[in-house]
A and B are shown apart, each in its own frame.
Chain A
């Protein structure tokens, strides 16, 4: 028999993996490109609404909708990067914040206009709603799958960054942008691709989040806060850092709600403050 703490750890870790998917792109754009994209969770929200539309209205299988959620967010981010973000790469932090927070407000209003402010129900097939019993505890199938997807993506990202030529080019451009250009690396293109990849993962996270936390237009702001916590605790630009921070914060959030309900959702902020006092640059941060 497993004590209930394992159930709390499991739920917390699953929630952490969701936070990881939502935030890894933000960490990369902030850490590598020094661009403050507060509209990151609007791309996540887009992924969520695309999934709701495809599954509920057009009857797509949930798993077929996930890649489309990824693509929709990635493509939308490229469109914004090309037309708006690119102009502000060398602008002040304040300019970047104002532009992207404005985009977030617009996305929230647009979502409310098109989909109303109601929570979107997602009709999942029965097998995804079930759970597996193991040593007296029930593990939700959906959360198991969520963890599996997040682990696979982490492995893929790390492998891509550490062991491919494209990954080495990204690291070179982060180390020394001028030298990278001087050797013929198209730094703008590499960054645009990275940005699209990060936004696509947020879109995937938005799709996977519906079943766990629901979806309404406030998503773009609510989860922006969590994403920024994960990014600052994990350390800018560090995939491993985002992963560790998301896991720790997910577990402490769920554990807090379970064991000290009076503190409720507040515990996650205490954990953040504690971790940042211990390591101001974040768990894996360099600066």
Chain B
């Protein structure tokens, strides 16, 4: 019964001839939460792209609820329940805010009304075009858009990057509300180590495309030497 929602077995992947990820294995249970930490360029984004099916998979396999999805094209993975929030947000610029949400929508608990309730600012700006939004609003829209697909797993790629602290707080609160619903798992890639570990229960740290460390998030929070060695200390300076 304890079939994981998503599991990666010895995944080796990259772009064309370039190999970025080496032998990465990990699991995310239903409603689980996993932080993916590591310095710039270690392969965090590549890991998420590999889960979506956008990279060249050279070895290993991925399974979704026990079924192999290694060869499944990205749109079928998304339709199967993986929601993706890209690092660059990638809002569709020539679609309005509401159209950005509608193109992604699939039946489920997250309707347009529910999503607007979570992000009231988006409701105010529903008629604006995608390219007229501030960075914080774009991030809200990217998360809201992924929610509209009613995913069982949400992949978040540095959602707090480059945002003002008040906006970060707002987003953290929204993600907590989203998780409190109890029907969604997340993989959270973050440079804000403290926030990432607070929002998740498990964590992995990547180094040069491989898993260098695994721990429960609350243990890793206290393990300053490891964090210092593998992530570099943002922890000490941020709140």
- Verify if B188 is at the interface (C-beta below 8 Å from A): no
Contact of A184 among B86, B92, B149 (CB under 8 A): B149
Range, interface on chain B: 20 to 34
Top-9 shortest CB links A-B: A184-B78, A184-B79, A179-B90, A183-B104, A175-B92, A181-B74, A182-B84, A168-B99, A172-B92
Range, interface on chain A: 10 to 19
A95 to chain B, nearest CB (A): 20
- Verify if A185 is at the interface (C-beta below 8 Å from B): yes
Residues of A within 8 A of B94 (CB): 171, 174-175
Known interface pairs A181-B74, A183-B78; A168-B84 also in contact (CB < 8 Å): no
Q: Cβ of A179 and Cβ of B102 under 8 Å apart?
A: no
Closest to B88 in A: A179
B195 to chain A, nearest CB (A): 24
Report the Cα distance A186→B149, complex, angstroms.
14
Residues of B within 8 A of A180 (CB): 92, 103
Closest to B85 in A: A182
Main secondary structure of the interface of A (DSSP, over half): helix
Known interface pairs A181-B73, A184-B78; A175-B95 also in contact (CB < 8 Å): yes
Q: Cβ of A186 and Cβ of B90 under 8 Å apart?
A: no
Q: Cβ of A178 and Cβ of B54 under 8 Å apart?
A: yes
Chain A residues numbered 178-198 whose CB sits less than 8 Å from any CB in chain B: 178-187
Chain A residues numbered 41-74 whose CB sits less than 8 Å from any CB in chain B: none
Report the Cα distance A195→B146, complex, angstroms.
28
Residues of A within 8 A of B73 (CB): 181
Q: Cβ of B75 and Cβ of A186 under 8 Å apart?
A: yes
Known interface pairs A165-B102, A168-B103, A172-B103; A185-B75 also in contact (CB < 8 Å): yes
A161 to chain B, nearest CB (A): 11
Q: B-contacting residues of A (Cβ < 8 Å)?
A: 165, 168-169, 171-172, 174-176, 178-187
9 contacts between A and B (CB under 8 A): A165-B102, A168-B102, A175-B93, A176-B90, A181-B78, A182-B74, A183-B149, A184-B106, A185-B103
Q: A-contacting residues of B (Cβ < 8 Å)?
A: 52, 54, 73-76, 78-79, 84, 86, 90, 92-95, 99-100, 102-104, 106, 145-146, 149
Residues of B within 8 A of A168 (CB): 95, 99, 102-103
Q: Cβ of A182 and Cβ of B86 under 8 Å apart?
A: yes
Report the Cα distance A176→B146, complex, angstroms.
15
Residues of B within 8 A of A178 (CB): 54, 74, 90
Known interface pairs A171-B95, A172-B92, A175-B94; A181-B75 also in contact (CB < 8 Å): yes
A286 to chain B, nearest CB (A): 9
B212 to chain A, nearest CB (A): 27
Q: Cβ of A179 and Cβ of B86 under 8 Å apart?
A: yes
Report the Cα distance A127→B28, complex, angstroms.
71
Closest to B75 in A: A181
Q: Cβ of B54 and Cβ of A183 under 8 Å apart?
A: no
Q: Cβ of A184 and Cβ of B104 under 8 Å apart?
A: yes
Report the Cα distance A36→B70, complex, angstroms.
32
B123 to chain A, nearest CB (A): 18
Q: Cβ of A182 and Cβ of B95 under 8 Å apart?
A: no
Q: Cβ of A184 and Cβ of B75 under 8 Å apart?
A: yes
A167 to chain B, nearest CB (A): 9
Residues of B within 8 A of A172 (CB): 92, 95, 99-100, 103
Q: Cβ of A182 and Cβ of B52 under 8 Å apart?
A: yes
Residues of A within 8 A of B145 (CB): 183
Point out which of B73, B74, B95, B149 has the most chain A C-beta atoms below 10 A from its C-beta.
Answer: B74
